[in-house]
Structure 1
Amino acid sequence: MDNKKSRAFLKWAGGKYSLVSEIRALLPDGKRLIEPFVGAGSVFLNTEYQDYLLNDINPDLINLYKILQQKPESYIADARALFTPANNDAQRYYKFREEFNLSTDTYHRSVLFLYLNRFGYNGLCRYNLSGKFNVPFGRYKKPYFPEAELYHFAQKADRATFVCKPFAEVFSLAQQGDIIYCDPPYAPISTTANFTGYAGNGFGMAEQNRLADCARNTAFSQGIPVLISNHDTQQTRQIYAGASLKELKVGRYISQKGHTRAKVDELLALYQS
C-alpha cells in the first residue's frame, strides 16, 4: 500500500489518522479486519484487507455508514444541501439539532448527523443521559463539506459489513484468517481524569479489563491476533500483560487544569500466539 493516507469524512475525537502508519505496521496479514470500535474509520480507510467487519455501539454512526454504502449519490447530495453559509448560524444549528433529536427517521438523522459533526464544536459526538445529542455550535468560518472523502468511504465500503453490537459479541464473530483491531474509549490517565473527563462514556476500568480478557482468549485460544490502542499508563501496562507492547510518542497534551499539562504517550498492545 502506498504512503498516501486517506482522511475520514467525519471529525472525530481520538481518531487514528495520525497513527495509521504505526498501526498498519503492527497489524498482521489476514483476510478480514474486524474493528469492534470503528469510530470514524481511519484504520479501515488506510489498510488493505479483502473484507471488513466494522462495529460501533453508536447506532447513528452505523446507520450513516450503511446508508452511505447503499445509496452514496442521494446521501451525498442531501448532505451537501445543508452546507450553506445560511446554515452556519447558531440559531439554525440548534434548530437542526432539535430536529435530529426528535426524528426517528434513520435517513434524515444520518443527513443531519454529518451536518452536526461538521458545524458542531470540535467534531464531538456526545449525548446526554436521555440519549439526546447535546454538542454546542462550533462557530467555524466555513465548515468543510467532505465530498471526496464521502465518495472514497462509499467505494471502500463495498468490502465492509457494518454492525452495531457490544464489543464482546463482535469478538464472538471472529474466525480463522481474521485480524482484530480495537480502539476503545481510552483508559483514564489519572483518577481525576477518571472522575471528570471520562464520566459517562460507559467504558470504565471493568470494561477495559474485559476487553483485554477477550483479546487474550481470542489470540491464545483461537489463534486470531488482536491489536489494541490505549493510553500508555501503569494501569494499561498491567491490564495488557501477555501482549507485546509498543510505546508511541504521540505528543498530545491532555490537561485538566491549564497549569498541569502533561504529555501523554500511547500504547499498542498486540496479542498473537
Structure 2
Amino acid sequence: MSKKTRAFLKWAGGKYKLVDALSKHLPQGKRLVEPFVGAGSVFLNTDYERYLLCDINQDLINLYQIVQRQPEQYITAAKKLFVDEMNDKTQYYKIRDAFNQSKDPFTRSVYFLYMNRHGFNGLCRYNKKGGFNVPFGSYKKPYFPEKELRAFSVKAQRAEFKCIGYEQAFELTLSGDVVYCDPPYAPLSTTASFTTYVGAGFSLDDQALLARHSRHTAVERGIPVLISNHDIPLTRELYRGAKFEKIQVQRNISQKGSARKKVDELMALYDQSYHYEE
C-alpha cells in the first residue's frame, strides 16, 4: 500500500483514518464527484482521472482554488502567521476579527488556515451572522502543513472546485462518474446535536433527500453513489435496498478521551442493482 496523503486542514469527521477501508467500496469510474468534500482525504487518496469537489462553505472552496492556482504565493503568506508570537490568544482573536471583517478571498484563505491550526480542535464553525466563532486552541506549536499544501496543489490540477449544495452537485453528474457522499452524520440519539460544523445545519429531511437523490442517480442514470454515515437504525432505514458494509472507526463523540469509543460506520452503495423491499 502506498503511503497515505494527509489533508492540510484539521477537520471534524475527516476520513483520513478510514480512507483505506472506504476506497475498497468505491466503484471505478473516470471522475469522482464529492458533494461534501470537507478536508479532501478521499480525493487525496484515490486515483480517478478527474474530480468534481463541492462544498457549501465558500471559504473552503476559495482556499482550495487559491492553493490549486497560486500555491507558492499562498504558502509564503500563510507561513508568516505560523511563528511563536502568533501562537497567542490575543493575536488569534485579532486574526479572527480581521477574517470576519475581510471580503478578500486570498486574505480570508490565509487566515482560515491559521485559525484551523490554532483554533480549538480544528473546528470550522460560524455564528448566525456568518462570523467565524471558534475559540483559541492553546496548542504548544501548531504545525504548518507546507508539504501537505504542495501535495494538495499538485493533485488539485485534476480537480474542479465548486461552492454548491449537494442537490446541485448531483445535477452536474455525468455518465462515467462515481459519487461519494460524506454528509454531516445523522445523530446517534434524538437529543444529539449534529449541526455544530456547518452554520446552516443538515436536517433529517436533508438526510432523506440525499438518500433519494442517490437512489435516483444510481437507478435512473446508472451513476453509482457511495454514502458513509453512522451505522444506526435510522440510516439503515434511509438507505434501505442499498448494499451495506460496516467499518469500525475511532470517533471522537465525547470530549472526554476515556469516553471515546468505536462507533460502526455504514457504507451504503447505490448502483443499478438497487432493490427496495417493503
TM-score > 0.5, shorter chain as reference: yes
Encode CA deviations 1:49-85: one digit per residue, 9 max, x unaligned.
0000000000000000001111010001100011000
Match of 1:246 in 2: 245
CA distance in 1, matches of 2:93, 2:205: 36
- How far has the Cα of 1:254 moved from its partner? 2.1
Match of 2:179 in 1: 180
Tell me, yes or no, if structure 1 residue 147 matches structure 2 residue 146. Answer: yes
CA distance in 2, matches of 1:123, 1:261: 18
Distance 1:130 1:107, change over 3 A: same
Distance 1:142 1:253, change over 3 A: closer
Q: Map residues 154-173 of structure 1 onto 2, 5 A cutoff.
A: 154-173=153-172
Match of 2:269 in 1: 270
- How far has the Cα of 1:22 moved from its partner? 1.1
Corresponding letter in the other structure for 2:86: N
CA distance in 2, matches of 1:62, 1:196: 20
Distance 1:97 1:141, change over 3 A: same
Partner SS for 1:34: strand
Q: Percent identity?
A: 61
Partner SS for 1:191: coil
Aligned residues: 272
Q: Which of 211-220 and 260-269 deviates more? A: 260-269
CA distance in 2, matches of 1:146, 1:249: 28
Tell me, yes or no, if structure 1 residue 231 matches structure 2 residue 242. Answer: no
CA distance in 2, matches of 1:63, 1:196: 22
Encode CA deviations 1:236-269: one digit per residue, 9 max, x unaligned.
0000011101111114252389998764211110
Unaligned runs of 5+ in 2: 273-278
Distance 1:118 1:259, change over 3 A: closer
Match of 2:9 in 1: 10
Match of 1:29 in 2: 28
What RMSD over aligned residues (CA atoms) do the two structures have, in Å?
1.9
Distance 1:256 1:109, change over 3 A: closer
How does the TM-score come out when normalised to structure 2?
0.94
Match of 2:38 in 1: 39
Is this contact kept in 2: 1:72–1:151, CA < 8 A?
A: yes
CA distance in 2, matches of 1:198, 1:110: 18
CA distance in 2, matches of 1:33, 1:196: 26
Unaligned runs of 5+ in 1: none
CA distance in 2, matches of 1:199, 1:38: 13
Match of 2:216 in 1: 217
Encode CA deviations 1:8-47: one digit per residue, 9 max, x unaligned.
0000000000000111101011000000000000000000
How does the TM-score come out when normalised to structure 1?
0.95
CA distance in 2, matches of 1:5, 1:259: 28
Match of 2:275 in 1: none
Distance 1:253 1:108, change over 3 A: closer
CA distance in 2, matches of 1:257, 1:93: 25
